[in-house]
Copies of this chain bind each other. A is one copy, B any other.
Amino acid sequence: MRRRLTILGSTGSIGRQALDVVSRYPDRFELVGLSAGNDARALALQAAEFTPEYIALESGDTGPLEGLTAEVLAGPGSAGRLAGAPSDVVLNGIVGFAGLAATVGALQAGNRVALANKESLVAAGEWVMDLAANNRIIPVDSEHSAIFQCLEGRRQEEIAGILLTASGGPFYAFEKARIVEAGPEDALRHPTWRMGRKITIDSATMMNKGLEVIEAHHLFGVRFEDVRVVVHRQSVVHGGALFEDGSVVLHAALPDMRLPIAFGLIYPERVDVGAEPVPFDGVTWSFEEPRNDVFRCLPLAVEAGRAGGAYPVALNAANEVAVEAFLDGRIRFLHIADVIEEVLEVVPDFGMMQSMEAIVTVDGWARDEARRRANGDSR
């Protein structure tokens, strides 16, 4: 039977790779909808090729969408509305907060979500997991997909924890003095993955891993102290399950986003998407502890995750502002963590994060706080 599929953020990196998977296995999918932020032209081309029932454009001119057979949803919130259309799987590849509303919309409609949007779990993990109780969220990033695949079919009682690997970023092996001097161009050289600027900096600061720890905590229901982060420079092992008896099961794959995307779309089945198999002919894998004293974003994120409520929202917002300030040359690399820490120290009581309004309020507050700190001093 064909799987009814909606792809949110279809013109982005995750969305385009998902459509690559669909085009390899056209008989397996029936496209319910495609959504884009503002690239109407790219969306129109995709819609012409894949003929979805619906297309949604969050902002911008819908002119290029005219003449298509698909029904058009337009304007802010259209992706969230599309997310509620009956589908077997909604792939959420939206970047940023808009993705949270779409996750909530899909789950409330009873759709399964293949989740690539980080904000959904970082900012609203408890809320989203409450909504997901009767559906399932299949994570679509290499680490959580790896952990998901390791935990599959296991009984809760045999699991002692989970393992989350980090490439360590470009500075992992540097002495601290050299990291102090690092500029944006140094940080943008990621050893194994090619990604956008923001996420590449997050990888260099280890904030990316910190956010993933928060996501893993929610997704897999594991305590923060049972999430073990390990630096693995080769980015072949992406995650694992730690068992009560001291043994572990690890998932390995060459870095290729099509793998977790295809897994998220086709689960519980699995298809060949043309990825290279893991090589074992003269390869070496290393595992090291993270340098939490130097790369402080990881322990800050774990702390914020443990505190819960508004803290992860504030962490995420302050980080975005601090990374922007670093990329603009306004603060230094190691001060990204300082800005975040200072914001986390003054978070007032915002209550539970169980609505978009609550989250947007904290987000705005934290951005202001972070901006003042990133601009206001002599860094």
Contacts and interface: CB of A to CB of B under 8 A. Distances in A.
B280 A163 contact: yes
A153 B150 contact: no
Contact of A278 (B248, B263, B276): B248
Given A282-B289, A289-B281, A246 B272 contact: yes
Nearest to A282: B288
A376 interface: no
B276 A280 contact: no
Nearest to A150: B249
Given A250-B252, A262-B245, A272-B246, A288 B277 contact: no
Contacts of A280: 163, 228, 230, 287-289
Taking the full assembly, how many copies of this chain does it contain? 2
Size category of the A interface is 35 or more
Contact of A253 (B247, B263, B289): B247
A260 to B, nearest CB: 9
B149 A269 contact: no
A249 B250 contact: yes
A250 B242 CA distance: 12
Given A163-B280, A288-B281, A270 B245 contact: yes
Nearest to A243: B270
A26 to B, nearest CB: 18
A157 B269 contact: yes
A196 interface: no
Given A149-B249, A155-B269, A281-B288, 10 more contacts: A157-B269, A242-B277, A244-B270, A245-B271, A246-B254, A247-B259, A250-B250, A282-B286, A284-B284, A285-B287
